[in-house]
Amino acid sequence: MKLKFVRRGIFVAALVALFLIPAPKNVAAEEKTFVLLNKKEIADKKDINCLVNVAAEIRKQGNKERSIKIVSTEDVKFNNKLLDKVFVKTEGGQALVYAEPADGSDWIGKVSERAVVKITEHGEDWSMIKSGNVTGYVKTGNLIVGSAAIEQAKQVLTNVYPQKDIYTLSDKEINEAFPFGETKEEEAIRVAAEEEVQRAAREAMRIQKSAELVSYAKQFIGNPYVYGGTSLTRGTDCSGFVKGVYRHFGVSLPRTSSAMRRVGYRVSVQDMQPGDIVCYEGHVGIYAGNGKIVNAIDERKGIGMSNAYYKPIITVRRIF
């Protein structure tokens, strides 16, 4: 029985030796790749590109075989598209690129874990790389090359195109999936632009919320003024009115008009916007725009609209 298995092993080895055919020369230099064809498929004379083949990637160290990995010819062809991808190991998703090949050197740019780099000068300890407008040094040991880089590139493509089979991606789609590094100056410009976008978004939300608050306040116009009252429908005074309107939007305000002079943050009268609290001596209202405030005026007029400048404004307070 043992002899039978030995003979079978010799036969299989002979077949492998017979049908190992060198792959195209554009495979990575550190990898020797072969395509193993099925004997029947060769006999059928099918187009080699249509065959379901396997490839044995054989790495050698000296004269001693190190490892053998079996992959499909589809993998080999796809891997060839990713041979130029080189990455840098990152911490927290980014790696610094330094001006000089020395510890303590100033950093001049960053590369992300997805960014591809080109090695322009390879050194034992430090290597010079280029990625976009970033040209500088990284530790040579932090470079990701060869098969490890190909696997990382595939992972990037999978993350960027989760709904697609990465083997069907066009060259354009593949290249667009990998960003380049960013100089310190480019980062500063990007961060400033992102902060401006966020600021604009917050301001738009504030304006919308303030408009909703003014609209809510106006629906009580015509309701009665009651000194010491807090009901927006049955009667309230000026500070009770402002407190009640803001309470509807989840904001707790003090009860008196004088105490409201310290809430939120101060804005100038010139920068007054709808929703701001306008404080006077002994009175308070909500700015409604167009030089008007909505407020609980007095027992005769009840809740209504008034000229915002009917008497000197002590302070304008912004809550949102």
Angle subtended at Cα 86 by Cα 84 and Cα 91, rounded to the nearest 5 degrees: 160
**Cβ contacts of 316 within 8 Å, gap of 6 or more:** 266, 267, 268, 269, 271, 272, 276, 277, 278, 279, 287
Q: Return the CATH class of domain 206-318.
A: alpha beta
- 66 by DSSP, 3-state: which? strand
- Looking at residue 75, its pLDDT comes to 81
- Looking at residue 59, its pLDDT comes to 41
Q: Running DSSP on this structure, what letter comes out for residue 168?
A: G
Q: Please give the chain's pLDDT, 320 residues, in tens.
A: 444 433 333 333 333 333 343 433 333 434 444 444 444 443 443 333 333 333 334 444 444 444 445 556 778 889 999 999 999 999 999 999 999 999 999 999 999 999 999 999 999 999 999 999 999 999 999 999 999 999 999 999 999 999 999 999 999 999 999 999 999 999 999 999 999 999 999 999 999 999 999 999 999 999 999 999 999 999 999 999 999 999 999 999 999 999 999 999 999 999 999 999 999 999 999 999 999 999 999 999 999 999 999 999 999 999 99
What is the token pair recorded at 211? Answer: 């408009």
d(CA 144, CA 285): 64
Are β-strands 230-231 and 134-139 bridged in parallel, bridged antiparallel, or unpaired?
unpaired
- Looking at residue 74, its pLDDT comes to 79
- 25 by DSSP, 3-state: which? coil
- Looking at residue 18, its pLDDT comes to 34
- Looking at residue 42, its pLDDT comes to 39
Indicate the domain borders of the chain: 2-80, 87-180, 206-318
Report how far apart the first and last C-alpha atoms of the chain are (Å, whole number). 86
- Looking at residue 24, its pLDDT comes to 38
CATH for the 87-180 domain, from 2.30.30.40, 2.70.98.70, 2.60.40.1180, 3.30.365.10? 2.30.30.40
Report the predicted TM-score, pTM, of the whole model to 2 decimal places: 0.64
Spell out the long-range contacts of 260-265 with Cβ–Cβ below 8 A and sequence spacing 24 or more: 260/284, 260/317, 261/314, 261/315, 261/317, 262/317, 263/317, 263/319, 264/317, 264/318, 264/319, 265/317, 265/318
